[in-house]
Amino acid sequence: MPGKPVTDQQVRLYMTDRLQHSQRVAAARAGFNERTARRIEADPRLLSQRKPSRGRTVPDPLAAVWEPVLLPILERDPAVQAVTLMRHLQLTHPEAFPDDRVRRTLERRVRDWRALHGPERDVIFRQAPEPGRMALSDFTDASALGVTIGGQPLEHRLYHFVLAYSSWEHVAVVLGGESFTALAENLQNALWTLGGVPPEHRTDSL
């Protein structure tokens, strides 16, 4: 049908029918005209295998000035704005750039150059804690506090639990070292103090 692209399935059907039928009949059975059939026979590859790559359809308006004029400016000052480069071109090449017609092209070119060759940017993963959804907990060695019982130093740690959103805290003394048992018991105690263990965290092991 006019205006409707030919599919790979139609090409396969045509090439199969062409073994037994004329070009006109095979084309009609496949659903396109003889002109398309002649084009397919000239290049029997499937349409998906010979899609032309899209290239530039118009000449690059910045080809003569990008590398010799604009790149040195960007390399000296990567933060320079595209509008500043546009004004520079209008001053130095008034005949070639009498107006802002290529400004959009220049902005895209500068943006792409910065992405590939500009200065590195800090990668920031912003955290936005939600109420009741995130907490942090850890053990802290408390020997530096110098706590003693009967003159003997008390070897202990502090279990610290805090909600990320509200900064609500719970601290408990842990005798001995860090262990899964100490973590599980103190996490459970912190959650009960908070108001109860959420249903999704209630298991027999806790």
Domain range summary for the chain, segments of one domain joined by +: 8-49, 66-117, 135-201
* Closest among 59, 18, 53, 49 to 36, alpha carbons compared: 18
Pairwise CA distance, residues 196 & 123, whole Å: 37
Here the tokens at position 166 are: 């509200």
- DSSP 3-state assignment of 72? helix
Residues forming a β-bridge with 136: 162
Task: Using DSSP, state whether 206 is helix, strand or coil.
Answer: coil
SS3 content of the chain, % helix, strand, coil (to 5): 45, 15, 45
Please report which confidence band the pLDDT of residue 111 belongs to, taking 50, 70 and 90 as the band edges. very high
Q: Residue 89: what pLDDT? A: 93
Band (1; pLDDT cuts 50, 70, 90): very low
Q: What is the mean pLDDT of residues 72-88?
A: 92
User: Over 70: is that where the pLDDT of 205 sits?
Assistant: no
Mean pLDDT, rounded, for 45-59:
67
- 154 falls in which pLDDT band (50, 70, 90)? confident
pTM score, whole prediction? 0.38
DSSP output for 56-116: -SS--TTTTTIIIIIHHHHHH-TT--HHHHHHHHHHH-TTT-SSSTTHHHHHHHHHHHHHH
Tokens coding 80: 């320079």
CB atoms within 10 A of CB 33: 13
Task: Evaluate if residue 133 carries a pLDDT over 50.
Answer: yes
Q: pLDDT band for 37, please (50, 70, 90 cuts).
A: confident
Question: For residue 204, what pLDDT band results from cuts at 50, 70 and 90?
Answer: low
